[in-house]
């Protein structure tokens, strides 16, 4: 069974940091590209960052560029999102999503259940 399980969310003060993790199972991790997608409460979906199957190409939304870093560890079958200099507007439910391919143009065919990030003093 394909599973994506996010963790690492929580309450953090503005300017603080968090590292999100997404542990995957049920498929070959290195065969797929991944992304983080967030959703503020009551709002739509916003793509945040993506990484190719080999980890050689990283992509970021302008809103997080320079503050967030995506990475992957094939030995642990885990995707990460290091979030620094957090702002109130980063408050959202963060989903890990699998792209239906290793590199290139594919939809998101599997999603985790999300981890909540709240940035507030």
Partner 1 sequence: EIVMTQSPATLSVSPGERATLSCRASESVSRNMAWYQQKPGQAPSLLIFDVSTRATGTPARFSGSGSGTEFTLTISSLQSEDFAVYYCQQYNSWPPLTFGGGTKVEI
> Residue numbers of the site for partner 1 (CB under 8 A)?
35, 44-47, 50, 59-62, 95, 100, 105-109, 111-114
User: What is the Cα–Cα distance from 20 to 23, expressed in whole angstroms?
Assistant: 10
Provide, rounded to whole angstroms, the least separation between the CB of residue 66 and partner 1: 14
- In the bound state with partner 1, the residue whose beta carbon lies nearer, of 38 and 72, is 38
Backbone φ and ψ of 6, nearest 5°: -85, 150
- In the bound state with partner 1, the residue whose beta carbon lies nearer, of 49 and 72, is 49
- In the bound state with partner 1, the residue whose beta carbon lies nearer, of 13 and 116, is 116
Residue entry with tokens 């594919």: 106
At 29, is the secondary structure helix, strand, or coil?
Answer: helix
H or E element in which residue 68 lies: strand 68-73
Give me 77's structure tokens.
Answer: 């079958």
Provide, rounded to whole angstroms, the least separation between the CB of residue 17 and partner 1: 23
Report the length, in residues, of the chain: 121
Provide, rounded to whole angstroms, the least separation between the CB of residue 44 and partner 1: 5
- In the bound state with partner 1, the residue whose beta carbon lies nearer, of 23 and 61, is 61
């Amino acid at each position: 069974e394909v599973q994506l399980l996010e963790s690492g969310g929580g309450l953090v003060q503005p300017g603080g940091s968090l590292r999100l993790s997404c542990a995957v199972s049920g498929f070959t991790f290195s065969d797929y590209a991944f992304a983080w997608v967030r959703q503020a409460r009551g709002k739509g979906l916003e793509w945040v960052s993506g990484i190719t199957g080999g980890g050689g190409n990283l992509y970021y939304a302008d809103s997080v560029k320079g503050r967030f870093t995506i990475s992957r560890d094939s030995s642990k079958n885990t995707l990460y999102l290091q979030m620094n200099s957090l702002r109130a507007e980063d408050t959202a439910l963060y989903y890990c999503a699998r792209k239906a391919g290793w590199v290139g143009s594919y939809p998101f065919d599997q999603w985790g259940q999300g981890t909540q990030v709240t940035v507030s003093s």
